Structure 1
Amino acid sequence: MKKAYQGLIKTLGRGAKGSRSLTLSEAHFLIRGFSDGIGTKVQLAAALMLMRVRGETCEEVAGAALGIKSTMSAQWSNLDVSIDWPCYAGKRELLPWLLLAAKVLASQGERVLLHGDPKSLSHRNHIAAHVEGLNIPKASNPDEAKAALDAVGICYVDADSFSPLVAQFRELHQELGLRSLFQIAIRCTNPANAPISLRSYFHPGLDKMHGKVAKLMACACLDARLPDDPYNDNLHRNFDNHFDNKLDHSMDSTAVNPAEQAFALKGRVGIFKGVQGETEINPRISTELTIATGDTSQVIYLPTRLEGFVGMNTLSSELALSPQQACLVLSQIWHHGEASDTRHESHSAFSSSASSKLGQIAEASVISTLSAIYLLQGKCQSVSQAQSLAIQAWRMR
C-alpha cells in the first residue's frame, strides 16, 4: 500500500508528457491514505503542490472531499440537520450578517449547522467570534450538536471537531504559504448530510467547479463500486493501469452510508459568489445562484437590493469594533434593526448616518440570503415570492 501511495505522486509528477491528474478514487486514497499513516506529510505536500501548479480538477476535489468525509465520525451523519452552512472564508470588513439569516431560519423550525475554521486566514472576521454573542451555541462533538439543535435549532462547529485532518492541512497551508484543494474540498463535505447545502466562492470559474464536484460526489455515493475502503485489493491491483475503473463490481452497496445516498438522490446544493468569498449573498450586486442536484442544474439571478448605495468605504474605515463590540452591534440589529455606538461613551464617534447604513446593509444582506435559501428549498417559484417571504420572515423574527 505504501508503494501504491508513492505511485500517486509519480502519477502527478512524471513530467509534461508522462503526468496526469488523479481520478476521483485516487484523490480519495491520497487523503484517506495520509490519514491512516500510509502516506507521509512530505508525500502529501508534494501531491498538493503538483496539483496546485497545474490546477486541481473537479475529480480531484470531489475525491478529496469524500476522503476528508471518510475520516469524520459516523455520528455526525446521524444528526437531523436541514441546512448545511459552511463558512470558511471570513470577511475583511463589516460583520457576518449571515448569522442573522441563520437565526431567522432556526426560528422557523429549520435545523442549521454552521461550521468553519477561524484558525485559517486568522486575519479575517470569522463567524466563530460572533456566534455566542447571538446565543448560537458552539458544539465540539455530535452529542453537543444534537442537544443544541434540539434546543434552539442551530449550532456552530469548528472544523477541527470534524476531523484531525483539518489541523494537519492548516499546518501545511501555513508552512508552504499556498492554498490547496483542501480549502475547496472542506466546504463540500456536508458532515450531517443535510438536504440543503450551501457553497460560496470568490474567484471566477469556481461556480462551475462546485457544480461539477457536487454531481461527482452524488454519483460516487450512489455507485456501489466506489471503494469506501481505501485499501480495496482490486483498486490497488489496478493502480499501475491508472485506476482504469475496473473496480470490484461485487462490492456490497450497504458499504455506502444511507444518509449520503439520500442526499445524493434528493439533496440540493446552492452555489454563489459570496461577500469576499463568505457564504452570504452580497446585496450590493446582482448574484447568480446555481442550484445543483445529482443530475440537474438551474441558474437563478438575484437582483441587488442596494442599488446605488454609497458610503461603503467610509463606513468600513469608520468601523473599528472589537469582537465584543461587534457582537453587541449584531445583537442590537437582531433586536431593534439598528445599531448604536458601542465604542465610546459619546455617540458622536459613531454617527447616526453610519448606524442607519449598517441597518440598511444588514437588512438587505439578510433578505437576499434568505431569498436564496427559500429558492434553494423550493419554497418559492419566483425571486419576487422569495423576497416577499424573506422580508416577512425578517420582520416577524
Structure 2
Amino acid sequence: MAANSMSKEYQALVKALGRGERGSRSLTLTESHFLIRGFSQGVGTKTQLAAALMLMRVRGETCEEVAGAALGLKSTISEQWSNLDVSIDWPCYAGKRELLPWLLLAAKVLASQGERVLLHGDPRSLSHRNHIADHVEGLNIPKASNPEEAQLALDAVGICYVDADSLSPLVAQFRELHQELGLRSLFQVAIRCTNPANAPVSLRSYFHPGLDKMHIKVAKLMAQTYLDTRHLDNSFHGSSHDKPDSGFDTKTDSTEVNHAEQAFALMGKVGIFKGVQGETEINPRISTELTITSRANSQVIHLPTRLEAFVGMNTLSSELALSSPQACLVLSQIWDQGETSDHQSGIHSKLSASVLTLAKLRQVAEASVISTLSAVYLLQGKYGNVSAAEYSADQAWRMR
C-alpha cells in the first residue's frame, strides 16, 4: 500500500473516534491493533496517537480497544522473548507508595521450587512510587536487558527482572505521552497483558473497580486472536474505507503462526485480582477475589484475610523512612531470617528505635508472601482448594 494511502487509513481511526457525540464510535480490535502497530512503523504520528488515546480515555476504553492495543504492543516485542522457557509471567507496573515489594520474596520462593519466573515493569513511569526494579538486585534477582541475558539468569537461578524498555521501543514513547499529557491511557492496562515469553500462567493486577471484568474479556479476546489470526481481518465493524488494506505489515497475518502464543491461548491461564495499591501482590488485610480465566472458562476463588484487625500498615515503612538501600536490606534480612547488626549501613539505630515496627513489617511480609504464593499455586492448578494452597505456601516460606 502507498504511504499516502496508509496515512489516510490511520487518520480515519482518529476521525472514527472524534466525529462528535452522534458520529463517533469506538475502535474494533483490529483498528486498535493498527493504531499501535501503525505508529510503531511510522504510519501514524505522535499527535494522531495522542489524540486517539485521549479520545478513548474520555469516553472510556473498550475491551476490544485494550486487547487490540496489547496485541499491537506484543507485535513490537522480539519473538526471541517467546523462545524463553518461562513458567510464570509476572508484570509489575503499578509500584507501591510506602510499602515494600513483598512479592519479590514470593517470587524467590517459587524460583527455589523450580519455577522460571519473568518479572517485568517500568520504574520510570510513576517514578514517585516504590518499584521492584529498585530492589531486585539487593535480593540477588538478576536484571536482564535482552533474551540472551534472561535465558542465562533463568537457567542459573530461575528468575530475572526485565525493564519494559528492553521489551518494546514503544514503552518510552507511551511514557513520554503520559508524562506530557498528565493522563493515563489504555497502555497502562495493555502492557500488563503482553506476556512476552508466553508463559503458561500470567498474573494481572488492577486497582480501580471494574477492571477485573475488562482483564477477563481482554484475555479471552487475545486468546481468540492467537488461535485464529484471521480474527484481526474479520473484526471490523466500520466501512471498508475505515479498514486498513491487507498490505499493511501487521505481523499477525494468518500465514504467520506463533506456536508459543497458540499454546498459551489453548492451555494458558490468567490470574486476575485487585493488588496492593494496584501492584501484583495479594493484599493480606482483606479478602481477595482471584479470577482464574482461560479461553474456555473462568472461575472465582476467594482468598481469606490473613491479617485480621491489623492497623497501621500504610505507615510502617514511612515511620522508618527507609532509603532504597535500607529497604533492600530489610527485604534481604527477612528473606535470610537474619537479625540487624550494628555495622549494616547505619540502619541498626533506626530499627532498634522501632523494634515493634520491624516486627510488624515481618508479620506483613509473611502474610503477603503466603497469600501471594497461594494465589499462584491455585492459578497453576496445583491444589484444589484454598486451605491446601495456603498450607503449602506456609511450608514453602518456612523452608526457604
TM range (shorter): over 0.9
Aligned residue pairs total: 388
Matched, 1:275 2:308: no
Assess if the C-alpha contact under 8 Å between 1:268 and 1:293 holds in 2: yes
**Unaligned ranges ≥5, structure 2:** 1-5
* Further displaced range: 305-314 or 339-348: 339-348
Matched, 1:31 2:36: yes
Assess if the C-alpha contact under 8 Å between 2:29 and 2:235 holds in 1: no
Q: How does 1:141-290 map to 2 (within 5 A)?
A: 141-227=146-232, 240=240, 242-243=242-243, 253-290=254-291
Residue 382 of structure 1 aligns with an amino acid whose one-letter code is N
Assess if the C-alpha contact under 8 Å between 2:98 and 2:314 holds in 1: no
Report the RMSD for the aligned CA atoms in angstroms: 2.2
- Tell me the SS of whatever aligns to 2:230: coil
Residue 203 of structure 2 aligns with an amino acid whose one-letter code is L
Distance 2:27 2:341 in 1: 53
Q: How does 1:65-144 map to 2 (within 5 A)?
A: 65-144=70-149
Distance 1:256 1:185 in 2: 22
Assess if the C-alpha contact under 8 Å between 1:287 and 1:302 holds in 2: yes
- Cα distance change on mapping 1:30 and 1:339 into 2, 3 Å: farther
User: Residue 357 of structure 2: which of 346, 350, 354 is its match?
Assistant: 354
String of CA shifts for 1:258-286, please: whole Å, max 9, x gaps: 10000000000000000000000000000
Q: How does 1:284-323 map to 2 (within 5 A)?
A: 284-323=285-324
- Cα distance change on mapping 1:90 and 1:338 into 2, 3 Å: farther
Distance 1:168 1:384 in 2: 45
**Unaligned ranges ≥5, structure 1:** none
Residue 358 of structure 1 aligns with an amino acid whose one-letter code is L
Assess if the C-alpha contact under 8 Å between 2:66 and 2:218 holds in 1: yes
Distance 2:271 2:17 in 1: 32
Deviation at 1:255, TM superposition (A): 1.0
Distance 2:340 2:380 in 1: 31
Distance 1:301 1:118 in 2: 31
Distance 2:58 2:217 in 1: 21
Deviation at 1:182, TM superposition (A): 0.3
Identity of aligned residues (%): 79
State the 4+ residue runs in structure 1 displaced beyond 3 angstroms: 238-247, 251-254, 337-345, 347-350
Deviation at 1:212, TM superposition (A): 0.4
Deviation at 1:295, TM superposition (A): 2.1
Deviation at 1:111, TM superposition (A): 0.3
Matched, 1:376 2:379: yes
Instruction: Report the equivalent of 2:388.
Output: 385
- Cα distance change on mapping 1:330 and 1:235 into 2, 3 Å: closer
Assess if the C-alpha contact under 8 Å between 1:82 and 1:194 holds in 2: yes
- Tell me the SS of whatever aligns to 1:80: coil
Instruction: Report the equivalent of 1:53.
Output: 58
Distance 1:14 1:256 in 2: 36
Instruction: Report the equivalent of 1:22.
Output: 27
